[in-house]
């Protein structure tokens, strides 16, 4: 009897399993898809990863002509990818792989036994395989027991596992957070000792693993693991730097604990959570003490935005991600100049500066309040609610999302009798300032004000 939670998965892989059986090879579902099926938490977009005793040439021969598409970029590492009925699959020959001490690429050796393949997996909870089509669960390292006990272990020694692929040290943080696992002490010790080996892993792989950690429901314990083991020092030293020293005289908020709390309060939107992670990284460089031991971090949002750009560039983030995150960091304090007296002009500028990031900026601002003082928390929430109502009202009246001058460039040139060039841009900047300050003027009034500006400018030049 097939358990209900596995029925759809088994049906989905029946055809490919039959093809391998007919060709005389063994095929196994492996890794995360098995783990999540056991836990009853398969997502509709789950990956289908298989391992087999068939060699890569055999795999390609079996699926070629049956699959809708086949790709072989990973074939030299034992992996053949395919697309069938809209579902992506990867089939990898049983393998044992290890990194050379000074190499970023694995040396691949193939194996005939699924148990050998599973021994090279990152953690016992992923060293699971489901034999097809007979549906026998292969669990040589007691990964099911570890899932039940909420324990994170490696199939072999942590030293061997993390030496094989140092990215596994960072991946441990994601499994700690995403599956509420507690790492064995020897796992923690190994990461602490071997953390510098992360140097051989490409920045792109580190970036992608950080992104995966940030979008789990509650990433906090994973982030604390990175800091406590020292692993964060290897790729994101700005994070542990937030653990500012405290003393009885100069009391201030624990910025690291605050940062992790803000990340967890934000919805699992990758850009938003990256901004939450980096929003206060300018504080250590801008900290100063005032009268009575008060602590301030003047302009930390400006310094932090620059630091965010530098760190994200080092991790090879796309330019669009860098611009979005650094902009959110730069603007995250803008709201705090808001009181009930903000003018319509100030609201327009806030919306204009946030642009398409407005919703994320408002959420970051709201979640940046981690005070335990209920009076302060309620007051901040009321002010944010009021600002959002003001934005909604002006949006209905003025289409704030599309703020632009009342006249376009062609109309400016026609009214002033000038050719394309810097003067047109200067005139449009003048009209945009009017639009932000006073709202829509209409073409007639905008033309009158433009003519007056042009006359005054001509006289003074």
**Tens of pLDDT, residues 304-363:** 999 999 999 999 999 999 999 999 999 998 887 765 567 888 888 888 888 889 999 999
**Percent of the chain residues topping a pLDDT of 90:** 55
pTM: predicted TM-score of the whole model, two decimal places: 0.81
Q: State the total domains in the chain.
A: 3
Let me know whether 416 and 381 are in one domain: no
Closest alpha carbon to 153 in 189, 129, 117: 189
Domain boundary pick from 149, 181, 210:
149
Q: Which of 112-121, 212-221, 427-436 has the highest mean pLDDT?
A: 212-221
Whole-number pLDDT of residue 169: 98
Looking up residue 95, the CATH number of its domain turns out to be 3.30.460.10
Question: Above 70 in pLDDT, residue 79?
Answer: yes
Residues 27 and 116 in one domain: yes
**pLDDT score recorded for residue 250:** 42
Q: How many residues does the chain have?
A: 461
100: confidence class by pLDDT, cuts 50, 70, 90: low
Say whether pLDDT at 436 is over 80: no
pLDDT at residue number 106: 60
- Residue 251: the pLDDT is 46
Joined together, the tokens standing for residue 232 give 């964060």
Mean pLDDT for the chain overall: 87
What pLDDT does 104 receive? 55
Distances (CA, A) of 177 to 73, 170, 224, 227: 32, 12, 10, 14
Name the domain boundary from 149, 165, 196: 149
Quick check: is 28 in a domain?
yes
Domain around 47: 4-149
User: For residue 52, what pLDDT is reported?
Assistant: 96
The model's pLDDT over 266-290, given as tens digits with 9 standing for 90+, comes to: 999 999 999 999 999 999 888 877 7
Q: How many CA atoms lie within 13 A of 234 on its CB side?
A: 25
The residue with greater pLDDT, 92 or 392, is 92
Q: Is the pLDDT of residue 262 over 70?
A: yes
Q: Which pLDDT band, with edges at 50, 70 and 90, does 151 fall under?
A: very high
Helix 319-331 vs helix 270-278: crossing angle, to nearest 10: 50
Contacts 24+ apart (CB under 8 A), 37-42: 37/5, 37/6, 37/9, 37/130, 38/128, 38/144, 38/147, 39/147, 40/5, 42/5, 42/9
Same domain (yes/no): 311, 396:
yes
> Span 124-133, mean pLDDT?
94
* Model pLDDT, residue 339: 58
The predicted structure's pLDDT at residue 4? 64
* Residue 207 maps to a domain: no
Considering the domain architecture, whether residues 258 and 351 belong to the same structural domain is answered as yes
Whether residues 372 and 421 share a domain: the answer is no
Map residue 285 onto helix, strand or coil: helix
Over the stretch 396-407, which tens digit does the pLDDT of each residue have? Answer: 765 555 577 888
pLDDT per position as a tens digit, 24-33? 999 999 988 9
pLDDT number for residue 378: 85
Which of 387 and 236 is assigned the larger pLDDT?
236
Report the C-alpha gap between 267 and 23 in whole angstroms. 47
Cβ atoms within 10 Å of 415's Cβ, excluding its own = 17
Q: Are residues 260 and 368 in the same domain?
A: yes
Give the orientation angle of helix 358-367 with respect to helix 270-278, to 10 degrees: 50
Tell whether 257 and 396 lie within a shared domain. Answer: yes
- Give 295 or 3, the one with higher predicted confidence: 295
Percentage of the chain modeled with pLDDT above 70? 90
């Amino acid at each position: 009897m097939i358990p209900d939670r596995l029925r759809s998965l088994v049906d989905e892989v029946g055809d490919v399993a039959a093809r391998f059986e007919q060709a005389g090879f063994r095929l196994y579902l492996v890794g995360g898809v098995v783990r999540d099926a056991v836990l009853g938490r398969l997502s509709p977009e789950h990956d289908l990863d298989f391992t087999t005793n068939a060699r890569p040439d055999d795999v390609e021969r079996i699926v070629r002509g049956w699959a809708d598409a086949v790709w072989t970029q990973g074939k030299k590492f034992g992996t053949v990818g395919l697309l069938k009925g809209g579902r992506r699959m990867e089939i990898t020959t049983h393998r044992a792989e290890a990194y050379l001490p000074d190499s970023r690429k694995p040396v691949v050796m193939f194996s005939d036994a699924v148990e050998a393949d599973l021994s090279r997996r990152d953690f016992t909870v992923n060293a699971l395989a489901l034999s097809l089509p007979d549906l026998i669960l292969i669990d040589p390292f007691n990964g099911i027991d570890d899932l039940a006990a909420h324990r994170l272990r490696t199939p072999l020694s942590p030293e061997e596992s993390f030496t094989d692929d140092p990215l596994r040290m960072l991946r441990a943080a994601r499994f700690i957070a995403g599956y509420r696992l507690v790492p064995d002490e020897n796992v923690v010790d190994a990461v602490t000792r071997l953390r510098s080996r992360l140097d051989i892993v490409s920045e792109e792989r580190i970036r992608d693993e950080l992104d995966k950690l940030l979008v789990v429901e509650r990433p906090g314990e994973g982030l604390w693991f990175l800091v406590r083991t020292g692993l964060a020092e290897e790729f994101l030293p700005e994070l542990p730097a937030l653990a500012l020293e405290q003393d009885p005289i100069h009391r201030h908020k624990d910025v690291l604990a605050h940062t992790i709390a803000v990340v967890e309060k934000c919805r699992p939107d990758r850009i938003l959570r990256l901004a939450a992670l980096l929003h206060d990284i300018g504080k250590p460089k801008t900290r100063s003490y005032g009268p009575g031991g008060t602590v301030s971090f003047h302009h930390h949002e400006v310094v932090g935005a620059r630091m965010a750009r530098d760190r994200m560039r080092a991790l090879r983030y796309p330019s669009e991600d860098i611009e979005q995150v650094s902009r959110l960091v730069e603007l995250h304090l803008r709201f705090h100049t808001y009181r009930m007296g903000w003018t319509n002009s100030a609201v327009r500028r806030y919306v204009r500066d946030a642009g398409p990031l407005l919703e994320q900026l408002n959420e970051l601002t709201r979640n940046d309040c981690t005070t335990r003082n209920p009076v302060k928390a309620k007051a901040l929430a009321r002010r944010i609610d009021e600002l959002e109502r003001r934005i909604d009202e002006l949006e209905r009246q003025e289409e704030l999302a599309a703020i632009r001058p009342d006249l376009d460039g062609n109309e400016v040139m026609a009214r002033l009798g000038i050719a394309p060039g810097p003067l047109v841009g200067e005139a449009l900047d003048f009209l945009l300032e009017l639009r932000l300050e006073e709202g829509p003027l209409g073409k007639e009034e905008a033309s009158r004000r433009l003519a007056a500006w042009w006359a005054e400018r001509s006289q003074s030049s």
